[in-house]
Amino acid sequence: MELLSGGEMIARALEDEGVEYIFGYPGGAVLHIYDALFKDCKVPHVLVRHEQAATHAADGYARATGKPGVVLVTSGPGATNAVTGIATAYMDSIPMVVLSGQVQSHLIGEDAFQETDMIGISRPIVKHSFMVKRSEDLPLIIKKAFHIASSGRPGPVVIDIPKDVTRPDETYEYRYPKSVKMRSYSPAQRGHTGQIKKAAKLLLAAKRPVIYSGGGVILGEASELLTQLARKLNYPVTNTLMGLGGYPGSDRQFLGMLGMHGFYEANMAMHHSDCILAVGARFDDRVTNTVSKFCPSAKVIHIDVDPASISKTVIADIPIVGPVQSVLTELLSQIDLLTEKDAGVPDQAALKRWWDQIDEWRDAHGLFTGRRYAESDMIMPQQVIESLYRVTGGDAYVTSDVGQHQMFAAQYYRFDKPRRWINSGGLGTMGFGLPAAIGVKLAFPDQEVACVTGEGSIQMNIQELSTCTQYNTPVKIINLRNNYLGMVKQWQDMQYEGRYAMSTYEDSLPDFIKLVEAYGHVGIQVKKLADLDGAMENAFAMKDRLVFLDIFIDPMEHVYPMHIAPNGSMKDMWLSKNERT
């Protein structure tokens, strides 16, 4: 058996785990590890410019590939800088393993240089964490970390590693475990058959059904099954912000996103539904509006791998705990059995009435049927996303930051495939978009990757333009420039009589074109609608260059629909600045 130091074991274990990239930043406490990576490790390391970006890049990689992202940071400030990215991954259930350096064991607790209690700081935002006490424990701990991060409901796992544990002069026998079993951790493997039977019956008896699916369908690789189910029954589907791409966005049965900025027809259908099939979604407050008024006549079937997601806010009539893939498979065969026995289900006449009603809603206020922009040379943000959609054939990986641009991207880019839409839904982290795009582009160098952002968000991790230069990640940055913290401004317009407290910075924005050029990239400014498509095509034609499109848009535009809160229900929406339901 081979003898390796702690640092070498980490390098080797990451290889043995099949890790494709390590995103990180060196510092004192992890120098033994870095030296081991330098001397002998097949896994390439991506040096970011800020540890927050390491976690977002690993996160983007994980969202696009389904494999855990890997992060390596030093102790103290390195670890605390990573915290926002860990919390971002935690809120969206993204598999990630974060190796953080720690001061030497004998110094722990003495306020040593660059000491911080990373296990304590990260406790509420990790699925689990490990403090390594002995070098020989490293292989098993690393195996466990990957296992926990990527199974069940995925999430980030932190491994805190004191420097002495990785010292080069002490070696141990190395053997990487093939698999690991833990008595205290065993996520559900399949759903309860009795419950699934009940669900099939309820679903088939529905007269006004809606399938409401979330990020769990994407994480659980169940998009195909979900699509099969919806098509078989001809039931309408709506996706959460995290679930976009879980059902083909350009399909007739798709009602669009639901929730705070959801489509009119999606929110109306939910509100009037008599049966909601929730799959891998968690009824969060940005979806439900006022919980007590949520979908008053609906029976709820809720499928999720995490029992704690079920009946947390909205009580499920039929809870089913299990991986969405296996539960949907079983549900499909139960439905087959029942429809064979009784040709009368589902009730086609009722279903036709339901679709007629939905089409009426869609014709009245659907984003693609109802709304038109005034003739003007000013670019509307929606038009930018529509242009992006056309130029990329609807098949790009789109990352985003947080704000109005994020909502426009979610509404207007019709994602047909899972894992194409990459955004911070749960935590809403500005600064996520660019580093996430780096992670995606590294995973899929031949695919188009666009980062839809705003001039506020992009400045939160703008330094990563340098990482893009170093690792040649030619992503396209679509900057929806409105010269405001647009989403903040929208709320101030709607709730604070247009008092723009700290939401403007117009006269102090950088010249983005010069800025990206300074990093060696291409910048294109677009101010007229007539130039938009050309510039977009131009940008994507430059396959090997990072192009920053600085697109000046109508600064006064708001995102609609928008739920009316507080005390509103799903169906209470602003449809424009002066129309409401």
Partner 1 sequence: MRRIISMLMENEPGALSRVVGLFSQRGYNIDTLNVAPTDDPTLSRLTLTTVENDLRIEQLTKQLNKLVDVVKLADLTEGAHIERDLMLIKVRATGVAREEVKRTTDIFRGQIVDVGPTVYTIQLVGTSDKLDSFVAAMAGAEILEVVRSGVAGISRGEKVLSL
Ligand X SMILES: Cc1ncc(C[n+]2csc(CCOP(=O)(O)OP(=O)(O)O)c2C)c(N)n1
What residues make contact with ligand X under the rule CB under 6 A? 401-405, 428-431, 454-457, 480, 482, 484-488
> CB under 5 to 8 A by kind: which of partner 1, ligand X, none does 248 bind?
none
Residue 131 or 494 with smaller CB distance to partner 1: 131
Here the tokens at position 87 are 């919390």
**Strand (E) or helix (H) holding 386:** helix 381-391
Q: Which of 20, 104, 114, 378 is catalytic?
A: 114
How far apart are CB 431 and ligand X at their closest, in Å? 6
How far apart are CB 430 and ligand X at their closest, in Å? 4
Residue 239 or 424 with smaller CB distance to ligand X: 424
Residues of 518-531 as b/e, b for ≥16 C-beta within 10 angstroms? ebebbbbbbbebeb
How far apart are CB 458 and ligand X at their closest, in Å? 7
How far apart are CB 313 and partner 1 at their closest, in Å? 9
d(CA 113, CA 135): 22
Q: Is the dihedral of CA 377, 382, 384, 388 positive or negative?
A: negative
Instruction: Kindly give, in sequence order, each residue whose CB lies less than 8 Å from that of residue 575, ignoring residues fewer than 6 positions away.
Output: 264, 365, 560, 561, 581
Residue 330 or 455 with smaller CB distance to ligand X: 455
Q: Would you mind telling me the total number of residues written for the chain in this entry?
A: 581
How far, in whole angstroms, is CA 54 from its chain's centroid?
16
> CB under 5 to 8 A by kind: which of partner 1, ligand X, none does 119 bind?
partner 1
> CB under 5 to 8 A by kind: which of partner 1, ligand X, none does 488 bind?
ligand X
Q: Which of 67, 144, 163, 571 is catalytic?
A: 163
d(CA 165, CA 7): 8
181: helix, strand or coil: coil
Q: Which of 487, 536, 562, 570 is catalytic?
A: 487
Helix, strand and coil content of the chain, in percent to the nearest 5, comes to 45, 20, 40
455, 110 Cβ separation under 8 angstroms: no
Q: Which of 39, 113, 189, 577 is catalytic?
A: 113
> CB under 5 to 8 A by kind: which of partner 1, ligand X, none does 403 bind?
ligand X
Is-catalytic flag, 242? no
How far apart are CB 84 and ligand X at their closest, in Å? 7
> CB under 5 to 8 A by kind: which of ligand X, partner 1, none does 412 bind?
none
How far apart are CB 564 and partner 1 at their closest, in Å? 27
Instruction: Kindly give, in sequence order, each residue whose CB lies less than 8 Å from that of residue 568, ignoring residues fewer than 6 positions away.
Output: 289, 290, 293
d(CA 285, CA 124): 20
179: helix, strand or coil: coil
How far apart are CB 512 and ligand X at their closest, in Å? 12
How far apart are CB 487 and ligand X at their closest, in Å? 4
Residue 88 or 135 with smaller CB distance to ligand X: 88
> CB under 5 to 8 A by kind: which of ligand X, partner 1, none does 484 bind?
ligand X
d(CA 354, CA 363): 14
| Structure-token match 């093939």, residue found | 178
Residue 124 or 393 with smaller CB distance to partner 1: 124
> CB under 5 to 8 A by kind: which of ligand X, partner 1, none does 81 bind?
none
Q: Which residues bind partner 1 (CB under 8 A)?
A: 119-120, 123-124, 127-129, 131, 148, 182-185, 306-308, 311-312, 315
Q: Which of 51, 386, 448, 455 is catalytic?
A: 51
420: helix, strand or coil: coil
Residue 5 or 404 with smaller CB distance to ligand X: 404
Residue 306 or 493 with smaller CB distance to partner 1: 306
How far apart are CB 446 and ligand X at their closest, in Å? 29
d(CA 437, CA 156): 19
Is-catalytic flag, 163? yes
Residue 383 or 482 with smaller CB distance to ligand X: 482
Question: Nearest-CA neighbor of 149 among 26, 243, 8, 55?
Answer: 55
Instruction: Kindly give, in sequence order, each residue whose CB lies less than 8 Å from that of residue 106, ignoring residues fewer than 6 positions away.
Output: 164
DSSP, residue by residue, 105-118: GGGTTS--TT---H
> Given the DSSP bridges, would you call strands 171-174 and 2-5 parallel, antiparallel or unpaired?
antiparallel
Residue type, position 337, single letter: L
Instruction: Provide Rg for the chain, Cα atoms.
Output: 25
Burial class (CB in 10 A: 0-12, 13-18, 19+), 190: middle
Number of CB atoms found within 10 A of residue 157's CB:
28
264, 366 Cβ separation under 8 angstroms: yes
Residue 311 or 525 with smaller CB distance to partner 1: 311
DSSP, residue by residue, 187-208: ---S--HHHHHHHHHHHHH-SS
Here the tokens at position 189 are 């493997």
Residue 102 or 423 with smaller CB distance to partner 1: 102
> CB under 5 to 8 A by kind: which of partner 1, ligand X, none does 439 bind?
none
> CB under 5 to 8 A by kind: which of ligand X, partner 1, none does 312 bind?
partner 1
> CB under 5 to 8 A by kind: which of partner 1, ligand X, none does 128 bind?
partner 1
How far apart are CB 180 and partner 1 at their closest, in Å? 12
Catalytic site positions: 51, 113-114, 163, 487
